[in-house]
Amino acid sequence: MAEKIITINSTEEFDSTIMKTRYVLAEFYADWCAPCRMVAPVIERIAEQYSSRITTVKVNIDEQQELAIRYGIQTIPTIIFFKEGRFASKEIGVKPLSSFVRMIDSNIA
């Protein structure tokens, strides 16, 4: 299941991913963050459920500080949905599966 989530290794990789894929769900997290460990299995489920329609990526904010600053990440996990390369919606903190489903469904055509 985990291979359905791409780990972002650079700002360039992130930018090219959101530009070339219509829908991207990005999880901003850190290894030390307990709530991120809670949300991780939920995001895995989302990645699985929407694998044919959206690309799911993980951004480690300690390693990708430029991206964390760009998107003003103030708490983690922050999950941002990108549509055609642009910010569409976000969810902050520990949320159940239904919240992410709602966010995605309301943004995909």
Token pair in block for residue 105: 């469904």
User: Could you say whether residue 39 binds another protein (CB under 8 A)?
Assistant: yes
Tell me whether residue 41 or residue 70 sits nearer to another protein (CB atom).
Answer: 41
Q: Which is nearer to another protein, 16 or 106 (CB)?
A: 106
Figure out which of the listed residues 7, 10, 51, 93 binds another protein, where binding follows CB under 8 A.
93
Does position 105 interact with another protein (CB under 8 A)? The reply is no
Among 50, 67, 7, 51, which Cα is nearest to 31's?
7
Whole-angstrom Cα distance, residue 109 to residue 15?
22
Of positions 73, 79, 80, 103, contacts another protein by CB under 8 A: 73
Q: Where are the alpha helices (DSSP H) in the chain?
A: 11-20, 34-49, 65-70, 97-105
**Residue from 3, 12, 32, 105 binding another protein (CB under 8 A):** 32
Identify each DSSP E strand in the chain by its residue range: 5-7, 23-29, 55-60, 78-83, 86-92
The least CB distance from residue 88 to another protein, in Å, is 17
Residues taking part in catalysis: 33, 36
